[in-house]
Amino acid sequence: MTKYKPLKEKEAIEYVKGIEGLFDDDAELSCNEIGDGNLNLVFHITDQNSGMGVVIKQALDHVRIADDWPLTKERVKFEYTAMKIQDELTDGMVPKVYKYDDEMALIVMEDLSSMKVMRKGLISGIKYPHFAEQISTFLSKTLFYTSDLYMAPKEKKERVKNFINPELCDITEVLVFTDPYFDAESNNINPELRPYLEKEFWRKSELRKEVTVLKEKFMTRAQALIHGDLHTGSIFIDQKTLKVFDTEFAFYGPSGFDIGAVIGNLILNYASWSGKEVSTEFKADYREYLLDTIEDIWNKFEEKFRKFWDQEAHETTKAVKGYQDYYLKQLLQDSIGMGGCKTMRRCIGMAHVEDLDGIENLSERARAQIFALKLGEIMVTRRKRLATITDFIKIVRDLTAWEDTTNM
């Protein structure tokens, strides 16, 4: 029996050589470890002859998120199992898996390094005209076909059981839904932002209450098999293709959490331009692109989701007049609310995003962070008044106009 041990680069090469049919016999393999080194090892292995490459993602065992916060390697099982389901449902919108090794806590998968991590593209101001079409397909297929709307109740419950993922959920519960809303140890705070947090943000009791309502939803609502961490850093993209990766947070949770993650991260990028030296024209144009994208994502998502429902929901569900409209309105409100939480945590919580932290001047960064926090706040507190995505776009525009005039 193989026993778990973290691979070294040479061992990684030997490991993939042992996978039948993966590389040619005369392959000349080179290997680089390119992970962040904290939670996972990521080996990029290339055949110098053919140019073909693979990636090994191996979980480090008993790592620590913080001093008293350990994490086991079991998370790889959730990642692999969810990827398989997503792959089947979306016809390959996730990296191909060549091998999964439970014992070694690793996945050997397709090398997508020719594509860009979407967050970096957005930071560079690149537009992705097919993104809304692509991500709405991913979202609608995974969120419909893993839900009770489509699945047989017993199979769905069996799957809920297999995806009870306490360690990774715990990270989200604490870092997204709890700690950012008070002066918690785990927070990572720009000193220029702190006065705003102390004088205003942490005193918003209605906001904190509503975030807690969303937290309970996250903790209790087994609606669909969600990716669980679908920010723009979990998406590879080029002008043709989109692949979703880093799926270890997968579990049965509220569908709005995935849609919200996408929208929230577009909103973070939207806010980030407040702290950057770019022309007014560029900023206005790129922000319009981001808002159009958000509107398109929801509208295309809704259209596809309704189509799947009309064609493939259980007959007893289809027969219920008005339920589809109700469900989608709830989902819109959930998505915007969850997106608001995802937006705010990236300004205050432990894990930030480069969209904002790439702004080196701390005052400028704080300005963009405050704008992001205000956007996140209205996403949470006004979500129940939203009937359409256009309502949401309008409140973003209003807040932007207000920010432009006051310059915060």
Q: Which member of 18, 21, 191, 322 binds its own copies (CB under 8 A)? A: 322
Our finding on whether 208 is near its own copies (CB under 8 A) is: yes
Quick one: which of 283, 302, 292 has its CA closest to 393? 292
Q: Which of residues 241-300 bind its own copies (CB under 8 A)?
A: none
Size of the site for its own copies (CB under 8 A): 37
State the burial class of residue 387 (Cβ atoms within 10 Å of its Cβ: 0-12, 13-18, 19+): exposed
Q: Cβ closer to its own copies: 173 or 354?
A: 173
SS3 364: helix
End-to-end Cα spacing for the chain: 62
Measured from the CB of residue 309, what is the shortest distance to its own copies in angstroms? 13
Measured from the CB of residue 163, what is the shortest distance to its own copies in angstroms? 10
Q: Which member of 3, 321, 360, 405 binds its own copies (CB under 8 A)? A: 321
With CB under 8 A as the contact rule, which of the stretches 85-93, 136-144, 190-198, 219-227 interacts with its own copies?
219-227
Our finding on whether 333 is near its own copies (CB under 8 A) is: no
Q: Cβ closer to its own copies: 170 or 354?
A: 170
141 touches 233 (CB < 8 A): no
Our finding on whether 222 is near its own copies (CB under 8 A) is: yes
Q: How far is CA 115 from CA 42, 235, 273, in A?
A: 16, 10, 24
Task: Provide the strand spans (E) within 60-96.
Answer: 63-66, 69-71
Quick one: which of 54, 100, 99 has its CA closest to 76? 100
Residue 203 annotated as binding? Answer: no
Q: The tokens 């702190």 sit on which residue?
A: 194
Quick one: which of 270, 257, 261 has its CA closest to 231? 261
> Distance (Å, rounded) from C-alpha 16 to C-alpha 129?
36
Q: Which member of 114, 279, 316, 407 binds its own copies (CB under 8 A)? A: 316
Q: Cβ closer to its own copies: 106 or 380?
A: 380
Residue 215 annotated as binding? Answer: no
Contact positions toward its own copies, by CB under 8 A?
A: 148, 153-154, 157-158, 160-161, 164-167, 169-170, 173, 178, 182, 205-206, 208-209, 212-213, 216, 219-223, 316-317, 319-323, 326-327
- The annotated binding site for substrate is made up of 229, 345
